Amino acid sequence: MSAAVPYLRPLPTPPWPRRVWLKLGWNLALAVEVVAVVVLWELLVGVLRLTNPEFFPPPSAIGSAFKAITSSGVLGENIAFSVRNFVIGYAIAAVVGIAIGLTMGTSPRLSLALSPFVWTFYSTPRVAIAPLLVLWLGFGAESKIAMVALMAVFPILVNVMVGGQNVDQTLLRAGRVFGASRLDLYRKVVLPFTLPYTITGLRLGIGRGLIGIVIGEFIGSSAGLGLMILRAASQFDLATTFAVLLVLLVMANASMVLLDAARARIAPWYRETTF
Amino acid sequence: MARIDIERLTVEYELAERRQRLVALWNIDLRIADGEFVVMVGPSGCGKTTLINAIAGLVAPAEGRILVDDRPVGAPGPDRALVFQEYALLPWRTTWGNIRFGVEMQRDLTVSDDEIQQVIDLVGLRGFERSYPHELSGGMRQRVGLARALIARPKVLLMDEPFAALDAMTREVMQGELEGIIAATRRTVFFITHSIDEAIALGDRIVVATARPGRIKEIIEVDLPRPRREYDVKSHPGFARLRERVWTLLRDEAVVHAHQAHADGAA
Amino acid sequence: MAVGEEILAPPARLPARASTLRARRRRTLTQVGVVIGEVVLALLVWEIAVGSLRLVEPIFFPPPSAIGAAFADLLSRGVFADHIPYSLRNFATGYVLAAVVGITAGLAIGSSYALGRLLGPVAWSLYAMPWISIRPATTIWFGFGAEPIIFLVFLASLLPVLLNTMSGVRTVDPALLRAGRVFGGGRVQLWWKVVLPSAVPFVLTGLRLAVISGFIGLLVAELVGSSRGFGALVAIASSRFRVEEAFATIALLVAISVTGVRAVGLLERHVSVWRTRSSSA
Report mean pLDDT in 10-residue bins for chain B, 267 residues.
86 78 88 93 85 91 89 86 91 92 80 90 92 91 93 90 91 91 88 92 92 88 87 87 92 83 64
- Yes or no: say if A212 and A147 are a contact pair by the CB < 8 Å rule: yes
pLDDT at C281: 39
Residues 6+ apart with CB under 8 A from C42: A116, A117
Q: What percent of chain C has pLDDT over 70?
A: 89
Locate the domains of chain C by residue range.
21-56, 72-271
Round to whole Å and give the CA distance between C156 and A127.
14
- Alpha-helical runs (H) found in B66-162: 95-104, 113-123, 138-150
Interface test with B, best of A8, A13, A19 (most B CBs within 10 A): A8
CATH superfamily of C72-271: MetI-like (1.10.3720.10)
Nearest to C193 among B76, B81, B104 (CB): B104
- From residue A44, alpha-carbon distances to A55, A56, A58, B248, C61 in Å are 13, 11, 8, 76, 53
What pLDDT was estimated at residue C20? Answer: 65
C181 to B132: CB separation less than 8 angstroms, yes or no: no
Model pLDDT, residue B136:
92
Q: Which residues of C touch A210 (CB under 8 A)?
A: 128-130
DSSP states of B21-79: EEEEEEEEEEEE-TT-EEEEE--TTSSHHHHHHHHHTSS--SEEEEEETTEE--S--TT
- For residue A46, is pLDDT > 70? yes
Chain-chain contact of B76 with C197 (C-beta, under 8 angstroms): no
Partner-chain contact C200 B92, CB within 8 Å = yes
Cβ within 8 Å of B, C 147-186: 173, 175-176, 178-186
Segment B162-177, tens digit of pLDDT: 999 899 999 989 999 9
Nearest chain A CA: its distance from C136 CA (Å): 6
Question: Longest C-alpha distance within chain A, in Å?
Answer: 86
Would you call C209 an interface residue with chain A, using a CB distance cutoff of 8 Å?
no
- With 80 as the cut, is the pLDDT of residue C11 above it? no
- B10, B11, B12: best to mutate for the A interface, most A CBs within 10 A: B12
Task: Residue window 1-20, chain A: list those with CB within 8 Å of chain C.
Answer: none
Pairwise CA distance, residues C238 & C233, whole Å: 8
Topology of the domain covering A64-266 = MetI-like fold (1.10.3720)
C153, C91 Cβ separation under 8 angstroms: yes
pLDDT band at C4 (very low <50, low <70, confident <90, very high): low
Residue B30 near residue B180 (C-beta atoms within 8 A)? no
Asked if omega into C197 is within 30° of 0 (cis), the reply is no
Q: What angle do CA C258, C96, C203 make, to 5 degrees?
A: 75
C140 vs C33: which has the higher pLDDT? C140
ipTM: 0.84
Nearest to C38 among A116, A213, A236 (CB): A116
Long-range contacts (CB closer than 8 Å, 24 or more residues apart) made by A131-134:
A131/A219, A131/A220, A131/C223, A131/C234, A131/C235, A131/C237, A131/C238, A131/C239, A131/C246, A132/C234, A132/C238, A132/C243, A132/C246, A132/C247, A133/A216, A134/A216, A134/A219, A134/A220, A134/C238
For residue C277, the model assigns a pLDDT of 43
Q: Which of residues 4-63 of C touch A (CB under 8 A)?
A: 4-9, 11-15, 31, 34-35, 38-39, 42, 60
Which residue of C182, C277, C279 is in closest CB contact with B82? C182
pLDDT for C9 equals 39
Report which of A89, A87, A130, A135 is spatially closest to residue A218, judged by C-alpha positions.
A130
Interface of B with C (CB under 8 A): 56, 58, 75-78, 81-82, 84-92, 101-107, 132-134, 138, 141, 152, 165
Q: Which residues contact B121 (CB under 8 A, 6 or more apart)?
A: none
A204 in contact with C at a CB cutoff of 8 Å? yes
pTM to 2 decimals?
Answer: 0.83
pLDDT recorded at residue B1: 63
Domains of chain B: 4-79+154-266 (3.40.50.300), 89-153 (no CATH)
Average pLDDT over residues C211-233: 89
Examine the pLDDT at A20 and tell me if it is beyond 70: no
The DSSP-derived string for chain C is --TT----PPPP-PPP-S--HHHHHHHHHHHHHHHHHHHHHHHHHHIIIIIIS-SS-TTTS--HHHHHHHHHHHHHTTHHHHHHHHHHHHHHHHHHHHHHHHHHHHHHHHH-HHHHHHHHHHHHHHHHS-GGGGHHHHHHHHTTSSHHHHHHHHHHHHHHHHHHHHHHHH---HHHHHHHHHTT--HHHHIIIIIHHHHHHHHHHHHHHHHHHHHHHHHHHHHTT-SSSHHHHHHHHHHTT-HHHHHHHHHHHHHHHHHHHHHHHHHHHHHTTTTSS-S--
pLDDT per residue as tens digits for the range A103-153 = 888 777 788 778 777 877 777 788 888 898 888 888 889 999 999 999 999
CA distance linking residue B141 with residue B153, whole number of Å: 20
